[in-house]
């Protein structure tokens, strides 16, 4: 029996996909769990679904004795020890594209609000003041948007910005084909120096940590705006605070932070709180009903295809094998150490039990190999025990 555990209020569309696939044991939680509760919840889980607050580290993986797959119902997978999961034969799936539009719309909306000084004007009217003036307020049309990280979200932001009449330049560590009239800036410094609005769409990690620091902020165009809806570690918050206090930047919008609260009752600790020219949002870039429904459906469908057929297409940490209809009376999924002779030995074991291999597909990733074998014959406990006992075996399942 497949036991599916979904945490952090994952959209009901995921449960719907599982139920349509014939799964009935679906346990849902409306929030992230405490450490002890998480370890207990995963102890008998076959499939685990999480969002960004749940961290799946070595201890969690050790506690999850029956775990076969992890679904990250979000873009990132930084919250999962994907390398350790690979070594245990556990593929990790995510939804890299489903909330692209939601994030892009938020970024463009924040750019327009900050160009018009709406956050501070809104606050002043709430305080009873009627500051009706055009001073410091600008149209988006004709302004330059600089996009750092021209991937799926960054390029979508550029497309929307061009529709609003903005000029778009971008910088990426990889060569990217521009969409519309967007152009590469040539370097990060050149982008910062010419942009009226700078928006970040880069992954986390050591290579991007504090790429917007005091030095980078100092070369930004005076009066420009900074938006970060990517990862909290890419901006030096203290340096940004100083640049805003000195009026070098006219505004900023942040949806992500270096350290984020674990729940609604925990306040955000940031020097940017209270600044009227700063928009702070609680990591909601992809939090629209449309995107969450799409994410729920996309990740659940990947998990179902793996659980029912062993397909790993779209996994972030595992050898990828696309879905193929079963071709025999049984299908065996075998994850093994990528060593010479493993596949031959695996085939010999199956042959010794009278199994005829009808179809076989192998892919490797680093030190791990993954093979799907469709066979004719009786696949009983003795066969599975023999396959699991092989010295190169990491894990073996039948679907």
Q: Report the alpha-carbon distance of residue 337 to residue 223 in Å, rounded.
A: 56
Closest by alpha carbon to 387, among 328, 339, 332, 341?
Answer: 332
Average pLDDT over residues 332-344: 96
How do 249-254 and 224-228 pair as beta strands?
parallel
Eight-state DSSP code of residue 232: G
Q: What percent of the chain has pLDDT over 70?
A: 100
Q: Is 364 helix (H, G, I), strand (E, B) or coil?
A: strand
- Residues 6+ away with beta carbon under 8 Å from 116: 137, 138
Determine the CATH number of domain 1-98+289-311: 3.40.50.720
Q: Report the alpha-carbon distance of residue 307 to residue 299 in Å, rounded.
A: 12
Do residues 110 and 251 touch, judged by C-beta distance below 8 A?
no
Do residues 225 and 250 touch, judged by C-beta distance below 8 A?
yes
356 band by pLDDT with thresholds 50, 70 and 90: very high
pLDDT at 205: 87
pLDDT at 336: 97
Residues annotated as catalytic (active site), given as ranges: 231, 260, 283
What spatial distance separates the first Cα and last Cα of the chain, rounded to whole Å?
11
Q: Residue 371 pLDDT > 70, yes or no?
A: yes
148-168, pLDDT tens digit by residue? 999 999 999 999 999 999 999
Residue with tokens 């991937």, as numbered in its chain? 151
CATH superfamily of 324-399: ACT domain (3.30.70.260)
- Residues 6+ away with beta carbon under 8 Å from 220: 192, 193, 195, 198, 226, 243, 248, 249
pLDDT at 1: 66
261 band by pLDDT with thresholds 50, 70 and 90: confident
What residue segments make up the domains of the chain, in order of their start?
1-98+289-311, 100-280, 324-399
76 band by pLDDT with thresholds 50, 70 and 90: confident
CATH superfamily of 100-280: NAD(P)-binding Rossmann-like Domain (3.40.50.720)
Supply 171's token pair.
């910088």
Q: What percent of the chain has pLDDT over 90?
A: 94
Supply 379's token pair.
């696949």
264 band by pLDDT with thresholds 50, 70 and 90: confident
pLDDT at 75: 83
185-240, pLDDT tens digit by residue? 999 999 999 999 999 999 888 999 999 999 999 999 999 999 999 999 999 999 99
Q: Residue 107 pLDDT > 80, yes or no?
A: yes
Q: Residue 262 pLDDT > 80, yes or no?
A: no
Average pLDDT over residues 55-84: 95
Q: Residue 293 pLDDT > 90, yes or no?
A: yes
- Residues 6+ away with beta carbon under 8 Å from 79: 50, 52, 53, 54, 55, 56, 72
pLDDT at 48: 98
Chain centroid to CA 96: 6
Burial class (CB in 10 A: 0-12, 13-18, 19+), 352: exposed
How do 356-365 and 368-376 pair as beta strands?
antiparallel
Q: Report the alpha-carbon distance of residue 82 to residue 56 in Å, rounded.
A: 9
pLDDT at 204: 86
Number of H helices, E strands in the chain: 13, 16
pLDDT at 208: 96
Average pLDDT, the chain: 96
- Residues 6+ away with beta carbon under 8 Å from 382: 353
> Do 1-98+289-311 and 100-280 show the same overall fold?
yes
């Amino acid at each position: 029996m497949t036991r599916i555990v979904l945490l952090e209020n994952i959209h009901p569309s995921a449960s719907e996909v599982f139920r349509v696939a014939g799964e009935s044991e679906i346990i849902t939680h409306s929030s992230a769990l405490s450490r002890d509760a998480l370890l207990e919840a995963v102890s008998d889980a076959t499939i685990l679904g999480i969002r960004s607050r749940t961290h799946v580290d070595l201890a969690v993986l050790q506690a999850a004795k029956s775990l076969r797959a992890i679904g990250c119902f979000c873009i990132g997978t930084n919250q999962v020890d994907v390398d350790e999961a690979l070594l245990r034969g556990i593929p990790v799936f995510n939804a890299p594209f489903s909330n692209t539009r939601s994030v892009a719309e938020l970024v463009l909306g924040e750019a327009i609000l900050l160009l018009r000084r709406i956050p501070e004007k809104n606050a002043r009217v709430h305080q009873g003041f009627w500051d009706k003036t055009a001073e410091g307020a600008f149209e988006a049309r004709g302004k330059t948007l600089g996009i750092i990280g021209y991937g799926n979200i960054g390029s979508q932001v550029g497309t929307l910005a061009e529709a609003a009449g903005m000029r778009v330049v971008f910088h990426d560590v990889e060569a990217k084909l521009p969409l519309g009239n967007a152009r590469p800036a040539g370097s990060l410094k050149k982008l910062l120096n010419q942009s009226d609005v700078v928006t970040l769409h880069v992954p986390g990690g050591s290579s991007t940590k504090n790429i917007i620091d005091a030095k980078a902020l100092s070369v930004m165009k005076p009066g420009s705006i900074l938006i970060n809806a990517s990862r909290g570690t890419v901006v030096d918050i203290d340096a940004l605070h100083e640049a805003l206090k000195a009026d070098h930047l006219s505004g900023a919008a942040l949806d992500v932070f270096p350290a984020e609260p674990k729940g609604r009752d925990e306040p955000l600790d940031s020097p940017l709180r209270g600044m009227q020219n700063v928009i702070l949002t609680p990591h909601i870039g992809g939090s629209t009903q449309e995107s969450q429904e799409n994410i729920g459906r996309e990740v659940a469908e990947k998990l179902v295809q793996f659980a029912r057929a062993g397909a790993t297409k779209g996994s972030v940490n595992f050898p990828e094998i696309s879905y193929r209809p079963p071709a025999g009376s049984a299908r065996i999924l075998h994850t093994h150490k990528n060593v010479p002779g493993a596949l031959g030995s695996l085939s010999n074991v199956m042959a010794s039990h009278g199994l005829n291999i009808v179809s076989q597909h192998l892919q490797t990733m680093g030190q791990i190999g993954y093979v799907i074998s469709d066979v004719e014959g009786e696949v009983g406990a003795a066969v599975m025990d023999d396959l699991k006992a092989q010295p190169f075996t990491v894990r073996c399942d039948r679907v």
